Amino acid sequence: MESLGGAAAVAAMSSEAKADALEDAQNKALNQAVAAKKFPTMAEVEAGITEKPFRRGVGNLFIGRRGANVARLEPMPAKPTFIDFFRMRFGDVSNHVLQSANHAMQTGMEEEVIFACLLHDTVHSLIKVDHGWWGAQMYAPYVSEKVAFAIRYHQALRFYDDDAHGYKYPDLYRRTFGEDYKPEPYIEAAYKFTRNHKWYEYPRLVTVNDLYAFEPGVNPKLEQFTDIVGRQFKQPKEGLGFDNSPSAHMWRSMAMPDHPL
């Protein structure tokens, strides 16, 4: 409307002229959509760093959604379980990990793979940067070594193709890291280490089930995985955060992220 000179000018146009203008506008929108497929360079991604009041690696619990203020959180029970955290603190990432775990289940993968998929990005609530390592550390006292291994190294493997497993570097990373991004040496070293490890399959299958595009209408429920959680997660009787484990402080930080110090 504005590009045509406002409402009065549009009202004075013939219907053919309006139709032409509409087609022009539709073409423009289409061109913009095609242009959106063009990926930013690393320099363009880096230029955006100082345009936000928070850093890209911050945990979801610590920033408002899309620039809004943070919401008040439901208080956790005195002895919180993994399921409590999943329901009350993993909100922003829960659908993504449920879809990944559901995909692993539907394709007949073994239980530890399904479980690793369910956990793989949940540490995003606490912190996003280097989330493979943070996540593995947070879960290590409560899950099998294989599951912790899968969580730690999926972060590195997702940057490397694996034709045998049907894994391709996703466009999402071209958009997120920049089209000319090359993984840092520590990521490359972690990839090489994992590639030659007897448990390579576990983190690789997490990346295979990692769904980069959300499937609309697929909303698996946590109940689908309750039995697996029961078998795979060693729930401390004192509650997560209060069992003196090496990662108890991480759970407390998610339980009470409004504590200032």
Site of interaction with Fe ion (CB under 5 A): 121, 210
Q: Of 117 and 248, which CB lies nearer to Fe ion in the complex structure?
A: 117
Q: How far apart are CA 153 and CA 208, in angstroms?
A: 13
Residue 5 C-beta: closest distance to Fe ion, Å: 48
CB of 120 to Fe ion, least distance (A): 5
**What CA–CA distance (Å, rounded) separates 4 from 155?**
49
Q: How far is the CB of 29 from Fe ion (least distance, A)?
A: 31
Nearer to Fe ion, 105 or 248 (CB): 105
Q: Are 159 and 183 in contact (CB under 8 A)?
A: yes
Count the Cβ atoms, other than its own, within 10 Å of residue 96: 18
Measured CA to CA, the distance from residue 109 to residue 104 in angstroms comes to 5
Nearer to Fe ion, 112 or 210 (CB): 210
Nearest alpha carbon to residue 96 among 120, 130, 113, 112: 120
Min dist. Cβ of residue 1 to Fe ion (A): 41
Token pair 């070594």: residue = 145
Q: CB of 100: closest distance to Fe ion in angstroms?
A: 6
Based on C-alpha coordinates, what's the Rg of the chain?
A: 23
- Report how far apart, in Å, the C-alpha atoms of 222 and of each of 50, 107, 166 are: 38, 18, 27
Whichever of 128 and 195 has its CB closer to Fe ion, that residue is 128
Residue placing its CB nearer to Fe ion in the complex, 97 or 255: 97
